């Protein structure tokens, strides 16, 4: 194997305890979760445990399920934070460079009847992605129904300093626009809902809304002729002076919003975020963070150019070598402690 994958694992997994629980220690617990996320040959946890048990791992699926329900997800949070810092170190950006931060939510349908009886049919996951560092950020989990205009504040607040939060109209409300305009050293580009009235002022800015709830700000408009769609964007980015951003650049910033959709697509298609394997909120949070941890590991992994450079190329490369090692659980132990 020609890759830095072993070094990544040694750095971030070697400190996990191997003796804190009698049957399912933290190292094995984390390894099993990451095995499920990364292993493209396993589609269910039951089939994964069948392989593990046949090849000498005595832990059973009921013990794992109980641990996923009761153990704190803090170990996954810490691992996620460590990997984010390492990914950020590898990015090069100047202090004056604007960091585009597209953000949005995605819905994951809940299939557990236990959760249905509690009134929950879906989970809404909020995140942004820093296009300079490549790091997702502002992770927020919301159970149940709810419009983006009422939620997502934690994700918006995660916009980096000198960053530009780019949002679709689902996040739009006059109250939110006023809050965003009050921020210092942080910027936004937000698509305005169709039902919000605009009135142009003499200074070139617009009044948004009607009555006493009006908000004033810079509005940029452009059309997609093929789709016959109008885009009305409100922003607090300056148009003139040092660091002025043109209307064309505002339009380009909004087009970059699609990058968050590509993140959701990759997590759901390749890292198993399309459905939950647990029937409790704690386990769902662990699965979400494991998907994000797997994503960051792939960001950090380096492989020979001849095998490709995309995250999917890296995932397939690891899969080819994992097949020699029975499972990721066996492979992780070998790489971390016997490499």
Dump pLDDT digits (tens) for 170-192. 999 999 999 999 988 899 999 99
Per-residue pLDDT at 332 exceeds 80 = yes
Confidence (pLDDT) at 118: 86
User: What is the C-alpha to C-alpha distance for residues 165 and 157, in angstroms, rounded to an integer?
Assistant: 9
* pLDDT per position as a tens digit, 94-130: 667 899 999 999 999 998 888 888 888 899 999 999 9
Check whether 150 has a pLDDT greater than 80: no
Whether the predicted pLDDT of 310 surpasses 90: yes
Residue linked to tokens 């305005």? 192
Give 105's strand partners.
126
What is the CB neighbour count within 10 angstroms for residue 308?
13
pLDDT-derived band at 202 (thresholds 50, 70, 90) equals very high
For residue 277, what pLDDT is reported?
92
Q: Please give the residue that has the higher pLDDT: either 31 or 338.
A: 31
- Tell me the pLDDT of the chain averaged across its residues: 93
What's the pTM? 0.93
Contact at 8 Å (CB) between 79 and 145? no
pLDDT band at 77 (very low <50, low <70, confident <90, very high): very high
Q: What are phi and psi of 187, to 5 degrees?
A: -125, 170
Percent of the chain scoring above 70 in pLDDT: 97
CA angle 157, 163, 166 (to 5 degrees): 75
Report the alpha-carbon distance of residue 263 to residue 261 in Å, rounded. 5
Helix and strand counts by DSSP (H, E) for the chain: 13, 9
Residue 318 is predicted with a pLDDT of 95
Q: Which residue has the higher pLDDT, 212 or 44?
A: 44
Give yes or no for residue 11 having a pLDDT over 70: yes
Give the mean model confidence (pLDDT) for residues 254-265.
Answer: 96
- At 27 the pLDDT is 97
Question: Cα(191)–Cα(199) distance, rounded to whole angstroms?
Answer: 16
pLDDT on residue 114: 86
Q: Answer yes or no: is pLDDT of 81 > 70.
A: yes
Residue 152 has what pLDDT? Answer: 87
Per-residue b or e along 2-18, where b marks 16 or more CB atoms closer than 10 Å to that residue's CB: ebebeebbeebbeebee
Residue 329 has pLDDT above 90, yes or no: yes
CA distance 134 to 150: 27
What is the rounded end-to-end Cα distance, in angstroms, of the chain? 12
Whether the pLDDT of residue 85 is over 90: the answer is yes
3-state helix, strand, coil in the chain (%, to 5): 45, 20, 35
CA distance 103 to 167: 6
Q: Which of 303, 291, 332 is nearest to 80 (CA)?
A: 291
Closest CA to 269 of 33, 30, 32, 40: 40
Residues in the chain: 339
| Confidence at residue 226, expressed as pLDDT on a 0 to 100 scale | 81
Q: What is the mean pLDDT of residues 194-209?
A: 94
């Amino acid at each position: 194997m020609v890759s830095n994958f072993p070094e990544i694992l040694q750095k971030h997994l070697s400190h996990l305890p191997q003796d804190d629980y009698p049957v399912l220690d933290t190292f094995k617990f984390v390894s099993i979760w990451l095995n499920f996320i990364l292993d493209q040959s396993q589609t269910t946890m039951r089939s994964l445990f069948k392989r593990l048990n046949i090849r000498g791992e005595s832990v059973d699926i009921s013990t794992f399920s109980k641990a996923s329900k009761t153990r704190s997800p803090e170990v996954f949070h810490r691992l996620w934070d460590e990997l984010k810092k390492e990914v950020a170190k590898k990015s090069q950006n100047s202090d004056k460079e604007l960091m585009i931060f597209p953000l949005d939510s995605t819905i994951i349908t809940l299939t557990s009847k236990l959760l249905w009886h509690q009134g929950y049919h879906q989970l809404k996951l909020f995140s942004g992605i820093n296009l300079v560092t490549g790091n997702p950020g502002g992770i927020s989990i919301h159970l149940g129904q709810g419009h983006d205009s009422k939620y997502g504040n934690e994700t918006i607040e995660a916009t980096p300093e000198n960053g530009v939060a780019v949002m679709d109209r689902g996040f739009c409300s006059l109250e939110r626009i006023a809050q965003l305009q009050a921020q210092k050293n942080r910027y936004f580009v937000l698509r305005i809902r169709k039902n919000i009235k605009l009135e142009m002022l003499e200074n070139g800015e617009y009044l948004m809304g009607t009555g006493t709830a009006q908000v004033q700000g810079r509005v940029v408009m452009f059309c997609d002729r093929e789709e016959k769609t109008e885009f009305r964007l409100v922003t607090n980015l300056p148009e003139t002076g040092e660091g002025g951003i043109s209307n064309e650049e505002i339009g380009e910033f909004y087009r970059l919003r699609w990058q968050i959709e590509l993140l959701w697509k990759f997590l759901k298609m390749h890292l198993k975020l399309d459905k939950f394997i647990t029937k409790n909120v704690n386990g769902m949070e662990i699965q979400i963070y494991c998907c994000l941890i797997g994503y960051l590991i792939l960001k950090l992994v380096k492989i020979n150019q001849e095998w490709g450079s995309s995250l999917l190329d890296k995932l397939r490369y690891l899969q080819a070598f994992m097949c020699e090692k029975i499972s990721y659980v066996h492979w992780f132990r070998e790489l971390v402690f016997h490499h």
